[in-house]
Structure 1
Amino acid sequence: MTASPRLRSWAFRLLAALAVLVLVAVVALVAWSRIGVMEAEPGPLEEVVQDPRIALAEDSSTLVLQPADGDASPTGLVFYPGAKVAPEAYAARLSTLVTDHGMTVVIVKPWLHLALFDRRGLNTFTREAPEVETWMVGGHSLGGVRACQVAPAVDALVLLGSYCAGDIADSGVPVLSLSGSEDGLSTPDKIAGSRDLLPADATMVEIDGASHASFGDYGPQDGDGAPLISDATTDHEVSAAMAEFLESEQLGAR
């Protein structure tokens, strides 16, 4: 028995209405993702661009930092930015991994400025540095949540002002979690509350005086606390914690 013309007409109208709703939702999401993006502060980014020790390259998917002298370690980091934070805002903070440890840093340019919506595989980003043998994945804020999702596929996980939403306690992945005592978003209580989602031997480091936005260079952020330390001090603390982590986990940085 074939459907009546009236039924076919009703079904067509329903499908058309659903298609319009989906289109409106997509357009609204794209528009929302472009509003309120926290841009990189020009000063710190320019310092990275002008640093003769750093080779910087970028395309539509990534921003890549490597040692300019070619003396790179076999260790690299794929890093997901926080929601609506420009990828360039992390170049200065992560540059010490390049200059101090010889690492390759691949900063992802997420779809719609939202790492959680970016379902591209890690090979999309690791292929930017085929010479790297050991890959870590990391992220800031909601970028860290995305990093947790792909962590079982890499050699280590690094969280900056972030925590996992899913359980990776039994993954066996080495984890370094850096948090800030003044973080008003990924607060110390929230990070402590999600501690059991990480492996028991995860390295937890709270940087005294750091806020949520201390892990990038994009200015103050609504809801955040006020930082009590300088960017230079944060750089030092991040680099020192990373050096100890790399050594303890024998991850191959120089």
Structure 2
Amino acid sequence: MVVLGVGGVVAWSQIGVMAAEPEPLATVQENPQITVTDADQGIVLEPVDGESDVGLVFIPGAKVDPWAYAAILQGLAEDGVTVVITRPWLNLAFFDPRGLDAFTSAAPEVGVWAVGGHSLGGVRACQLAPDADALVLFGSYCANDLSQSGLPVLSISGSEDGLSTADKIADARDELPADAEMVEIDGASHASFGDYGPQDGDGTPTISSEEMHAEVTRLVDEFLAPLAP
């Protein structure tokens, strides 16, 4: 029974994985301003000159191809941030017990690290946040108490998000520090935070992918800038 149960979970985790859309991904692979490495620790996006003082470990949402976040995060790498997109075990962040250093080892020269994630990946990022210098949430919220952590936090949500709704984010607000920066992007849905197509139960976005990418880059750049040594 145990073997069957484990086998069932493994099989379920591989069914219905939301693939990265090819056109946004092509913009990453063809971007001359960044270096893309498919490393053991994850997908690493770096400025082409290799000089980076701040890094972001980013955890994908449940059953979403990690490459689906490369396009929305490439602007950070263009601006000098090293990004490591993790590959959660069984495509589900809760089944991945690795600590933050398992991913930051991809760029040992970077001295300041934020951790972030989308949806369920953000919930896992909250658990790793005590070992990081900052926390970034995309359409997500914390299930553990960070209210007294003193950690800089940026929480970005979407007005059309049908999964991580405004009410759910508000209900979990007390888990974050009082000075956490809470930003809602008008017209953004849950799936607007990645490039993997529509998602069941989500709202309909009214913001374009290009506008969404630019706004997320601006918000995260401004948030991370004070962390640079």
Category of TM-score, reference length = shorter chain:
over 0.9
Q: Return the alpha-carbon distance in structure 1 between the equivalents of residues 55 and 41 of structure 2.
A: 17
CA distances 1:12-65 after superposition (whole Å, capped 9, x unpaired)? xxxxxxxxx211111000000000000000111111001011100113441100
Q: Return the alpha-carbon distance in structure 2 between the equivalents of residues 22 and 171 of structure 1.
A: 39
Q: Return the alpha-carbon distance in structure 2 between the equivalents of residues 196 and 171 of structure 1.
A: 12
CA distances 1:162-193 after superposition (whole Å, capped 9, x unpaired)? 00011110111110000000000001111111
Q: Is the 8 A contact 2:41 2:105 kept in 1?
A: no
The amino acid that maps onto 2:166 is P
- Pairwise mapping of residues 34-53 of structure 1 onto structure 2 (< 5 A)? 34-53=14-33
The amino acid that maps onto 1:45 is L
Pick the structure with more helix per residue: 1
The amino acid that maps onto 1:201 is D
Q: Which runs of 5+ in 1 are unaligned?
A: 1-20
Match status 1:22 vs 2:2: yes
Q: Return the alpha-carbon distance in structure 2 between the equivalents of residues 45 and 144 of structure 1.
A: 22
The amino acid that maps onto 1:245 is F
Secondary structure, counterpart of 1:78 in structure 2: strand
Secondary structure, counterpart of 1:137 in structure 2: strand
Q: 1:245 to 1:79 in 2, by over 3 A?
A: same
Structure index of larger Rg: 1
Match status 1:242 vs 2:217: no
What is residue 166 of structure 1 aligned with on the other side? Answer: 144
Q: Return the alpha-carbon distance in structure 2 between the equivalents of residues 244 and 60 of structure 1.
A: 29
Q: Is the 8 A contact 1:61 1:110 kept in 2?
A: no
**Number of equivalenced pairs:** 229
The amino acid that maps onto 2:17 is V
Q: Which runs of 4+ in 1 moved over 2 A?
A: none
What is residue 93 of structure 1 aligned with on the other side? Answer: 72
What is residue 151 of structure 1 aligned with on the other side? Answer: 129
What is residue 129 of structure 1 aligned with on the other side? Answer: 107
What is residue 80 of structure 1 aligned with on the other side? Answer: 59
Q: Is the 8 A contact 2:59 2:121 kept in 1?
A: yes
What is residue 187 of structure 1 aligned with on the other side? Answer: 165
Q: Is the 8 A contact 2:41 2:106 kept in 1?
A: no
Q: Return the alpha-carbon distance in structure 2 between the equivalents of residues 165 and 37 of structure 1.
A: 24
Q: Return the alpha-carbon distance in structure 2 between the equivalents of residues 136 and 170 of structure 1.
A: 18
What is residue 227 of structure 2 aligned with on the other side? Answer: 251
TM-score normalised to structure 1 length: 0.88
What is residue 65 of structure 1 aligned with on the other side? Answer: 45
Q: Is the 8 A contact 1:80 1:110 kept in 2?
A: yes
- Pairwise mapping of residues 109-120 of structure 1 onto structure 2 (< 5 A)? 109-120=87-98
Q: Return the alpha-carbon distance in structure 2 between the equivalents of residues 24 and 170 of structure 1.
A: 43
The amino acid that maps onto 1:73 is S
Q: Return the alpha-carbon distance in structure 2 between the equivalents of residues 243 and 80 of structure 1.
A: 18
Q: Return the alpha-carbon distance in structure 1 between the equivalents of residues 213 and 16 of structure 2.
A: 26
Q: Which runs of 5+ in 2 are unaligned?
A: none
Q: Is the 8 A contact 1:80 1:140 kept in 2?
A: yes
TM-score normalised to structure 2 length: 0.98
Match of 2:35 among 40, 44, 55: 55
Match of 2:117 among 118, 134, 139: 139
